[in-house]
Structure 1
Amino acid sequence: MTNSAGPEKSIRLLGPAEVRFLADKLGIRPTKQRGQNFVIDANTVRRIVRESGVTGNDVVVEVGPGLGSLTLALLETGASVTAIEIDRLLADALPATMAEYAPDQADRVRVVPVDALKVTDLPGPAPTALVANLPYNVSVPVLLHLLALLPSLERGLVMVQAEVADRLAAPPGSKTYGIPSLKAAWFADVRRAGAIGRNVFWPAPNVDSGLVAWTRREPPQTDVSREQVFAVIDAAFAQRRKALRGVLRGLAGSSEAAEAALVAAGIDPLARGESLGIDQFVRIAEELAGSAT
């Protein structure tokens, strides 16, 4: 008899008992060093996948799959998954877990045993989505690295520390607006997509978690490089409360040159970085580059 409900019915998600069983079998104790907090609630991983908009046509990059809770929920959509896992023990165990809990879909998971910050290429078809419970201690660098490395990524949803989620999605002028907000805005339109309680993790973290969704957009049209623009952003927020005229003098050569570049870009030299959007930083970088030639 054919199962008309679809292949997802053959997938079993992980709950608290399964997560602890798998961890015990592997002799794993979650470590703070690698930001390991395993999701033990099936409703939460299904919610993450639902909010991400992933479909069976997607090739999904997942960073830090751990024991496979979110990986299994992604397979329920029919998508393929490229799982990047720095912990070799977890990476080696993931295929067996997929074979046990999703026997008919296990071949749609590729495991890449490497540090996500050091990834330079991924096997298989070009990925279209990024969905992950990112390690909280490196969440922003990992997100920015993958956005830069994988232009085929169209959208994504990541779980990060709530405070980081606020920063990534913050608009200009808000208290949490800063370097993560601006650098993410180079690649994508970013929004907050909800909160996650501490009790869905094992072990429960000491911080709240948040979901951040993003949709790829074309980067600003400019003759300067992304690195040049990001250097201006870094300088502007190195001394957050100081006017741009002063904090950009190192890049410009002097306060006077910084002021001239700002005026030429249509920016008040006494403005602060927290009041400007990504396109304004692009204009500043262009003027600074022009004055250096």
Structure 2
Amino acid sequence: MTVGGSALLGPVDVRRLAAELDVRPTKKLGQNFVHDPNTVRRIVAAAGLDPADVVLEVGPGLGSLTLALLPACARVLAVEIDPVLAARLPATARERAPDLADRLTVLPADALRVRADQLDGEPTALVANLPYNIAVPVVLHLLAELPSLRTVLVMVQAEVADRMAAGPGGKVYGVPSVKVAWYAQARRVATVPRSVFWPVPNVDSALVLMTRRPTPDADRAAVFAVVDAAFAQRRKTLRAALAGWAGSAARAEEVLTAAGVDPKRRGEQLTVDDFVRIASRA
């Protein structure tokens, strides 16, 4: 299937490329390759890219999503930890999207450690099929490291998607929910069946769309320390859960009261702005 001058990969193409490279998808690297052209088109459409966007793709793998991104933006900066896959990706782009291949830059690196000065340009959007085991740390690291990112559209495990996009009050609302909310407004936009991957994972996936919001005027590390403490013992009241962080339960109650937060509430009931107020009173 061809999209905007880019011939997308199907199931036969994905397996052929894997065989050529002697790549056996590993659980350690969270490798589940998308082999359905319609799925990668849905991902690109959901990202709402502008032709001027510079897209950061994490874990491009064999290039299924990369080929769909190339016609939709100005440039794609692909970060790939597997050196074999990173070396092959430019050739795949030249073979299947010859007129667009010069838009692609590949950086062989670990996305959890990548720095802004390593990238050839300032990405405005992150679009990626993320390995399940590092999805949240990767998103939080890149939002912190790359203030140029205005939009994030990631495909992650459905359960992780729910946690990223959750609002206060629900059972799945927790540390990832609050820390994502520090940077962006997040919402789950689509479910992705497991059948579009090779190998087939044992869970469904989902797309989460995040739109950058103004960062709170507070010390991020201080706020995140409160968040971590509040959810470390999430069944306890904030007075009890924050006792270690504040130095004592009595001191935690003083801080909470000064911040306008009922000490009898629990962390799962608070917004990121509530946590900002608590940290500011410490």
User: What is the match of residue 174 of structure 1?
Assistant: 170
**Which deviations, in whole Å up to 9, do the C-alpha atoms of 1:131-167 show, x marking residues without a partner?**
0001111000000000000000011200000000000
Is 2:93 the partner of 1:63?
A: no
Change (3 A) 1:103 1:52: same
1:135-214, aligned counterparts within 5 Å?
135-214=131-210
User: What is the match of residue 129 of structure 2?
Assistant: 133
Shift of 1:78: 3.7
Shift of 1:251: 1.5
- Which residue, 73, 79, 96 being the options, matches 2:74? 79
- Which residue, 90, 93, 99 being the options, matches 2:88? 93
Which runs of 5 or more structure 1 residues have no equivalent in the other structure? 1-6, 289-293
Is 2:264 the partner of 1:270?
A: yes
Is 2:54 the partner of 1:54?
A: no
How many angstroms apart in 2 are the aligned matches of 1:140 and 1:10? Answer: 33
Q: Which moved more, 1:276-285 or 1:71-80?
A: 71-80
How many angstroms apart in 1 are the aligned matches of 2:4 and 2:113? Answer: 36
- Which residue, 225, 231, 242 being the options, matches 2:225? 231
Q: Is the 8 A contact 2:129 2:154 kept in 1?
A: yes
Aligned length: 280
The residue type paired with residue 148 of structure 1 is A
- Which residue, 107, 113, 116 being the options, matches 1:112? 107
TM-score using structure 2 length: 0.97
**Which deviations, in whole Å up to 9, do the C-alpha atoms of 1:31-58 show, x marking residues without a partner?**
1110000000000000000000012110
User: What is the match of residue 240 of structure 1?
Assistant: 234
Shift of 1:125: 2.0
Which runs of 5 or more structure 2 residues have no equivalent in the other structure? none
How many angstroms apart in 1 are the aligned matches of 2:19 and 2:69? Answer: 24
How many angstroms apart in 2 are the aligned matches of 1:57 and 1:190? Answer: 23
1:14-33, aligned counterparts within 5 Å?
14-33=9-28
The 3-state SS of whatever aligns with 1:157 is: strand
How many angstroms apart in 2 are the aligned matches of 1:49 and 1:229? Answer: 33
How many angstroms apart in 2 are the aligned matches of 1:74 and 1:245? Answer: 48
Q: Is the 8 A contact 2:54 2:73 kept in 1?
A: no
TM-score using structure 1 length: 0.94
User: What is the match of residue 7 of structure 2?
Assistant: 12
Shift of 1:11: 1.2
Q: How much is the aligned-residue C-alpha RMSD, in angstroms?
A: 1.1
The 3-state SS of whatever aligns with 1:151 is: coil
Q: Is the 8 A contact 2:50 2:72 kept in 1?
A: yes
Shift of 1:180: 0.4
**Which deviations, in whole Å up to 9, do the C-alpha atoms of 1:106-144 show, x marking residues without a partner?**
111111101100112232221100000011110000000
The residue type paired with residue 182 of structure 1 is V
Shift of 1:256: 0.6
How many angstroms apart in 1 are the aligned matches of 2:207 and 2:156? Answer: 6
Q: Is the 8 A contact 2:151 2:211 kept in 1?
A: yes
Percent identity reads 62
The residue type paired with residue 263 of structure 2 is P
- Once superposed, which parts of structure 1, at least 4 consecutive aligned residues long, lie more than 3 Å away? none
How many angstroms apart in 1 are the aligned matches of 2:58 and 2:156? Answer: 12
How many angstroms apart in 2 are the aligned matches of 1:79 and 1:160? Answer: 25
The 3-state SS of whatever aligns with 1:117 is: coil
The 3-state SS of whatever aligns with 1:160 is: strand
Shift of 1:10: 2.5
Q: Is the 8 A contact 2:54 2:122 kept in 1?
A: yes
The 3-state SS of whatever aligns with 2:191 is: strand
Change (3 A) 1:246 1:76: same
The 3-state SS of whatever aligns with 1:118 is: coil
Shift of 1:8: 5.2
The 3-state SS of whatever aligns with 1:215 is: strand
